[in-house]
Amino acid sequence: MTDELSPMQIEGRLNAYRRLLVGLATHLAALPDGRAAIEAMIADAETVDTQDEDPGVLPDQGFAGQEIADEEIRHILGSALARRQALEAGAGGLTKQEAAE
């Protein structure tokens, strides 16, 4: 028996983690400071590539890997904000707390 995961198993697990993170971040966005925290995380995940220091140098694999991770963070958090907005719009634009008041 091998402990190695197949590419399909890895993809399935990554998708599960993404769905869980989007769900958790969606609920975080409903908290009073949650949306601002998520927007700050999105801003922190932005990579500025001006290549001012040496325009002839191509990004190395470490930089490329970080860009992929940053893109995934922005995608997950952006999805969560969009889902929170859709949930609030579906409730007449009110959060659950506002609707209860």
pTM listed for this prediction: 0.72
Nearest to 42 by CA among 88, 87, 81, 84: 81
pLDDT in tens, 42-61: 999 886 655 555 555 666 67
- What digits encode the pLDDT tens for the residues 62-86? 777 888 899 999 999 999 999 999 9
What the block records as the tokens of 2 is 């091998």
Quickly tell me which residue has 């599960």 as its tokens.
16
